[in-house]
Amino acid sequence: MENPWKQVPLSSYELHMSQKNVAQLQILNKIMEKQFKVCAKSSDAAVLGVAGGNGLEHCHLKKVYGIDINPQYLQACAARFQGSLDSQLELWEMDLREPFAKLPKVDLVLANLLVEYIGIEIFCEKIAEALPKHVSCVIQKVTGDLDFVSRSPYQDQLQPIGRLHSDIDKAKLTLKMREIGYSLVLSEIWALPDGKQLLRLDYQSNMKI
């Protein structure tokens, strides 16, 4: 079965995520601005689940890879950043759940609302192969009985994705990251207008480089 992410037009995803009551696109954008500052300008980064490139305008690093399963999202991302980031930006179409999918060797890996779709095991396997110095991810914190997909006029188009996701537990992710040699260095809650929360978790490699 085709991954449901390939069936959702970028415009539906972005319109949904930027609705006033959802505001996740705007908040993820602010978080990315801070995430890119985790390492020096001479570093490189990979953004997993880059979609249309929300937040990439804040990247002033030497090189940034944008990785996504949906080729149309990547086309839109390339068009948006043509002329501004094109010498630094490299886009890779990749299904991160595939065993042969390998991350580029970079200093910083960002994964915002991505681990929910590939799972902790696969995410940590990819990190353990690539061994970046820094990993920063955002997960949606599960609160009460609110639906994973927030209410909006576009929510029906996102329902197949809602069925694909699994809730990510901070403690389980942190334990697995510790097993592969990473310590939690930042845990930050971002409140959303509809009562949900995003949780930014930063990990740093324990390896002396």
Ligand X SMILES: C[S@@+](CC[C@H](N)C(=O)[O-])C[C@H]1O[C@@H](n2cnc3c(N)ncnc32)[C@H](O)[C@@H]1O
114 touches ligand X by CB under 6 A: yes
For ligand X, the binding residue among 22, 39, 51, 106 (CB under 6 A) is 51
Would you say 31 and 198 are in contact if contact means Cβ atoms under 8 Å apart?
Answer: yes
Determine if 95 is a binding residue for ligand X (CB under 6 A).
Answer: yes
> Residue 56: helix, strand or coil by DSSP?
helix
CB of 206 to ligand X, least distance (A): 26
Residue indicated by tokens 């996504």? 68
Closest CA to 107 of 56, 65, 57, 51: 65
Task: List alpha helices for the chain, DSSP H.
Answer: 10-18, 24-35, 71-81, 115-118, 120-130, 155-164, 170-179
Candidates 49, 61, 109, 196: give the one binding ligand X (CB under 6 A). 49
Hey, what are 137's tokens?
């991810």
Q: Which of 19, 35, 43, 70 binds ligand X (CB under 6 A)?
A: 70
Q: Which is nearer to ligand X, 109 or 113 (CB)?
A: 113
Site of interaction with ligand X (CB under 6 A): 5, 25, 28, 49, 51, 54-55, 68-70, 73, 94-97, 112-114, 117-118
